[in-house]
């Protein structure tokens, strides 16, 4: 899975960091003695951190289940660094050697010690540790096509292979600390029942007593349930809501929104006068989608039904749903928060294929 890099270089010059691109990745696990020394999946099954090394260098990759590489960062040279980028090595599919000006250890360093991964709460980024010391970070916003590979402890400055971790720690440290605290809490005894009770209590206050409850997650994280709220008081329709999506932040929000804290936690809801079980199928469909597909859901987004139109739960005339925050006529769901951030309820409305095409993208 080693680097294969296209660098726009003038002969004998240094890489232009703005125009350098990492264009292609391919497997090199059987080439030149390259071996995998760590493979750690995130809790949602949507990303895997793979660390490879050969006798000369070590590299980390952030991959999806189909093998697509979303981020990659050099970790260490294990022999003296070349004065400039070794293009022959890269073009042969081997992990790169960091040039001498961009490494803290120009003479090389010993093989890496014990490695472990700490995933961001969203599951789209990861911190890599060597013997409990932070070694590298590949964040969700790593983008090889834009020359943003990730951050490495032993890197100096910015290169196509790694950016200096020391220069990014002020921004990354709170994210890493939050991730450690979150997973310590999430794996603790009673964390899910307490959160579930917290959400259900809020829904009791704004929607009235609960009816049926279904599990929407099976054996996979994130854990999500679906609660039915029958007509109550002056409300003549049932509300079906997810319970648990807001227990973890959605991935990639900060790549699209200036203030992600106001949009990163959501629950979904459907209002219906028909059988609530049909509406619940829409929530089963979408409740884990952000974490398994590494994306986010927000106001104005649409989602196309994944199966044959004839199987759409609310009728074959529809092809998907439109998501809206605070639509007219729906109950006010505000007042609930988690992790210091407000939770937004997005209401699903069935839409036809024509209506979906007419939505702005």
285, 302 contact by CB (below 8 A): no
Q: Which residue stretches of 261-318 are H helix?
A: 276-286, 289-293
273, 236 contact by CB (below 8 A): yes
- pTM for the model stands at 0.88
- Least Cα distance to 352 among 325, 326, 314, 324 occurs for 314
Pick the range with the lowest mean pLDDT from 82-96, 191-205, 321-335, 339-353: 82-96
| Separation of alpha carbons 113 and 111, rounded Å | 7
| Separation of alpha carbons 44 and 297, rounded Å | 17
The pLDDT of residue 32 is 53
Pick the range with the lowest mean pLDDT from 7-16, 61-70, 96-105: 7-16
The pLDDT of residue 361 is 55
| pLDDT interval class at 129 (50, 70, 90) | very high
Burial degree of 326 (CB within 10 A; 0-12, 13-18, 19+): middle
**∠ CA(355), CA(360), CA(361), 5° rounding?**
115
Mean pLDDT across 330-335: 97
DSSP element (H, E) containing 116? strand 115-119
| pLDDT interval class at 143 (50, 70, 90) | confident
Query: 3-class SS at 83?
Result: coil
The pLDDT of residue 257 is 87
pLDDT higher than threshold 70 for residue 179: yes
Percent of the chain with pLDDT over 70: 91
The pLDDT of residue 77 is 97
Greatest mean pLDDT among 29-33, 179-183, 315-319:
179-183
- Least Cα distance to 46 among 248, 267, 342 occurs for 248
Mean pLDDT computed over every residue of the chain? 89
Q: Which residue stretches of 97-252 are H helix?
A: 169-186, 191-207
Pick the range with the lowest mean pLDDT from 25-29, 50-54, 192-196: 25-29
The pLDDT of residue 81 is 97
pLDDT higher than threshold 90 for residue 138: yes
Given the structure tokens 């917290």, which residue do they identify? 198
pLDDT higher than threshold 80 for residue 301: yes
Q: Which two tokens stand for residue 272?
A: 């219906």
């Amino acid at each position: 899975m080693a680097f294969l890099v296209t660098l726009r270089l003038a002969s004998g010059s240094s890489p232009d960091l703005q125009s350098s691109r990492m264009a292609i990745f391919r497997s090199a696990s059987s080439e030149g003695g390259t071996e995998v020394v760590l493979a750690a999946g995130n809790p949602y099954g949507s990303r895997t951190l793979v660390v490879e090394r050969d006798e000369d260098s070590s590299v980390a990759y952030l991959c999806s289940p189909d093998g697509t590489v979303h981020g990659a960062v050099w970790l260490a040279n294990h022999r003296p660094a070349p004065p400039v980028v070794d293009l022959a090595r890269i073009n042969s599919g081997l992990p790169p050697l960091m040039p001498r000006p961009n490494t803290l250890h120009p003479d090389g360093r010993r093989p890496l010690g014990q490695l472990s991964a700490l995933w961001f709460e969203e599951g789209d980024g990861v911190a890599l540790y060597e013997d409990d010391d932070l070694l590298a970070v590949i964040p969700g916003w790593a983008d090889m096509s834009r020359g943003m590979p990730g951050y490495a402890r032993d890197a100096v400055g910015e290169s196509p292979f790694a950016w200096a971790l020391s220069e990014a720690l002020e921004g990354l440290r709170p994210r890493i600390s939050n991730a450690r605290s979150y997973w310590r809490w999430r794996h603790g005894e009673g964390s899910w029942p307490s959160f579930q009770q917290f959400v259900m209590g809020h829904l009791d206050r704004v929607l009235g007593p609960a009816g049926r409850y279904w599990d929407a997650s099976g054996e996979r994280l994130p854990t999500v349930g679906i609660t039915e709220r029958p007509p109550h008081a002056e409300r003549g329709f049932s509300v079906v809501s997810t319970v648990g999506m807001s227990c973890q932040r959605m991935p990639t929000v900060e790549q699209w929104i200036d203030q992600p804290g106001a949009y990163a936690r959501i629950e979904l809801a459907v209002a219906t006068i028909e059988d609530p079980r049909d509406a619940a199928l829409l929530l089963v469909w979408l409740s884990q989608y952000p974490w398994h597909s590494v994306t986010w859901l927000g106001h104005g987004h649409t989602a196309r039904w994944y199966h044959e139109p004839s199987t759409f739960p609310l009728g074959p005339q529809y092809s998907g749903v439109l998501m809206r925050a605070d639509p007219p006529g729906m109950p006010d769901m505000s007042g609930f928060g988690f992790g210091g951030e407000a939770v937004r309820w997005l209401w699903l409305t069935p839409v036809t294929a024509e209506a979906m095409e007419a939505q702005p993208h």
